[in-house]
Structure 1
Amino acid sequence: MNLSAPHRATRIALAGLAVLGMASAAYAVRRPLMMSVPACASGRWHGCLDTENGVVLMTAAALPLAALLVGALTLLRRAAGVTSPLRRSLAEVGMVYGTAPFVWMTLMPGLGAGVVTGRVSLVPLRDLATMGPIGIGGNLLVFAALGFFAPLRFPALASVPRMLALGAGFSAVIETLQYVLRLDRVSSVDDVLLNATGAALFALASRRWWHTPAQAPPPRPRLATAPAD
C-alpha cells in the first residue's frame, strides 16, 4: 500500500489553502496598499517607507528578490558541499525577510516624535483591551518569522522556552529604543509579552522540522550477546 500519496495530497491541499489565504488577504488590503503605490514607485520616502501600508507594499514587492536570494545561496552552498543547503538558505532569508519589516514599523516615529516625552506602561495586560484584534495580531507577528526559522538554522535555539526568551529580549530592546529615541510611542510590557508569545508559538509550529536526518543523533549500538552453548 502506497502511503505517500495521501501525504502528498495533504501537502498539496495545505499549500493550496495557504495560497488562497494569502490571495484573500492581499485582496482585502488592496485599496490601502494601492494608496502607497505612487509614493513608492517614485522613490519618495514620505508616503512610502514612513507608513505601514508602504512598508507592507514594499515587502510584498521584495518577495521575488527574497526567493532569488534563497536560490542563489542554495546553489552556492550545494557547490561547496554544505549539508542541507536549501534549509539553511531558506531559514536565513526567511528570518530577515519576515522580521525586518515588522521591526521597521515598530520604530516608525509618531507625529510628536522628538517633542513629547517617552511613555511607559508597565502594568501587564492593561493595554490589551485597547489594542484590538489587529493590534494583538500584529504584535504576535513581529517575531513570528524569527520564531519559525531560527530553530531551523541554529540547533541551539531549537527550544520553545529559548525562543520565548529570545523574543522577549529583542522586544525589550525595541521598547527601550522607542522610549530613548522619543518616537512618540508607548513602551508597553504587553508588547513584550505578545512579541515573545508570537515567537514561541511560531517556533512550536516549526517544531516537526527542527531536526533533519543529518542532524539526528545516531542510534545507540546494541550490546552483543554471547552465543548460547
Structure 2
Amino acid sequence: MSHHTPSSAPPRRIRRIVLLGLSVLGLAGALFVVRRPLMMSAPRCMSGRWHGCYDTFNGVVLMTLVALPLSVLVVWALAHRRRAVGVASPWRMSLAEVGMVHGTVPFLWLTMMPGGSPGIAPRRVSLIPLRDLVTMGTGGIVGNLLVFAALGFFAPIRFSALASVTRVLALGAACSVLVEVAQYVLWLDRVSSVDDVLVNATGAALAALASRRWWRTGAQAPSDRSRPAPVPAG
C-alpha cells in the first residue's frame, strides 16, 4: 500500500493558493503602475460622459476593471445554477464563458473606435503581409496580440471542439477578418490590415497554448458524465 498518494492533495492545494496569491499581487502591481492615467478618466466615466471615457483607451480599461466584480458575480450565479442541476465542471464552464466575454468585448470596442476623420478620409486597406508590423510599434503589436487572447484562452476550456491550437488560430483569424471588414464598411478612418489579422490570430493561439492543461476534451462532455452502468446478462 502506498502512503504517498493522500499527501499529494495538500501540496497541490498550496500550489494553487500560491499561484492565486501571485496573480493577485501581479494585478495589484499593474494597477498601481497605471493608476494615474486610469484615474484621469475616472471623473468622466463616473459621471456617464461619453467623450473622455468610452472613446479613450484609459476610459475603456477603467470601465473594464470596474465591471470585474459584476463579472465575478455572474460567474458565481452561473456556476451555482449549473451545480444545482448536476452539470459537470460548473465553475470552469462558467468562468470560461464570462472570461471570453469580459476579456474580448473591451478590445473589440477599442478596435472599432473611429479615427480622426470617419466618413471623410479615404478608406485604407493593406493586404501586403508584414508591411505594417514595422509601423505598429511595441504597443501596437502587444495590443493586437491581446484582442482575441481571452477568446483563445477560454474557448478551448469551454468547448471541446476548439481544443486545438490550429482551430483556435483559425477562429482568431476569422474573428479578426470580421473586425477588419467592419472597420472598412463602417468607414471608421482606420486601416484594414492583413497584419492585424495575423497578429490577432497569433495572440489567440498563444493564449490557447497557455491554457492547454485546462482544455475541455471529449471525455469531459456532459453526456459522458452520467452513463448508467451496464446491467449484467442473466
TM-based fold match above 0.5? yes
Offset, 1:15: 2.2
Report the CA distance shift for 1:19/1:213 in structure 2 as closer, same or farther (over 3 A).
farther
Matches within 5 A, 1:50-61: 50-61=55-66
Distance 1:183 1:211 in 2: 38
Which amino acid in the other structure matches residue 48 of structure 1? Answer: C
Question: Is the CA contact (8 Å cut-off) linking 1:118 and 1:178 kept in structure 2?
Answer: no
Structure 2 counterpart of 1:190:
195
Q: Say whether residues 1:8 and 2:13 are aligned partners.
A: yes
Structure 1 counterpart of 2:147:
142
Structure 1 counterpart of 2:183:
178
Any idea what SS the aligned residue of 2:49 has?
A: coil
Query: Could you say which structure has the higher helix fraction?
Result: 2
Give the 4+ runs in structure 1 shifted more than 4 A: none
- Which residue of 150, 165, 171 corresponds with 2:170? 165
Distance 1:213 1:162 in 2: 15
Report the CA distance shift for 1:81/1:11 in structure 2 as closer, same or farther (over 3 A).
closer
Distance 2:123 2:218 in 1: 50
Matches within 5 A, 1:1-229: 1=4, 2-211=7-216, 215=220
Cα deviation digits, residues 66-104 of structure 1 (max 9, x gap): 000000111111112222211111111111000000000
Distance 1:8 1:111 in 2: 52
Question: Is the CA contact (8 Å cut-off) linking 1:167 and 1:196 kept in structure 2?
Answer: yes
Q: TM-score, normalised by structure 1?
A: 0.89
Q: Which moved more, 1:162-171 or 1:8-17?
A: 8-17
- Count matched residues: 218
Offset, 1:213: 9.8
Structure 2 counterpart of 1:221:
none
Give the gaps of 5 or more residues in structure 1. Answer: 219-229
Cα deviation digits, residues 130-188 of structure 1 (max 9, x gap): 21211111111100110011111111111100000000000011011111111111111
Distance 1:3 1:33 in 2: 43
Distance 2:12 2:84 in 1: 31
Q: TM-score, normalised by structure 2?
A: 0.88
Q: Which moved more, 1:114-123 or 1:96-105?
A: 114-123
Give the gaps of 5 or more residues in structure 2. Answer: 226-234
Offset, 1:212: 6.5
Distance 2:178 2:203 in 1: 16
Report the CA distance shift for 1:85/1:214 in structure 2 as closer, same or farther (over 3 A).
farther
Distance 2:103 2:17 in 1: 23
Question: Is the CA contact (8 Å cut-off) linking 2:160 and 2:217 kept in structure 1?
Answer: no
Distance 1:46 1:22 in 2: 27
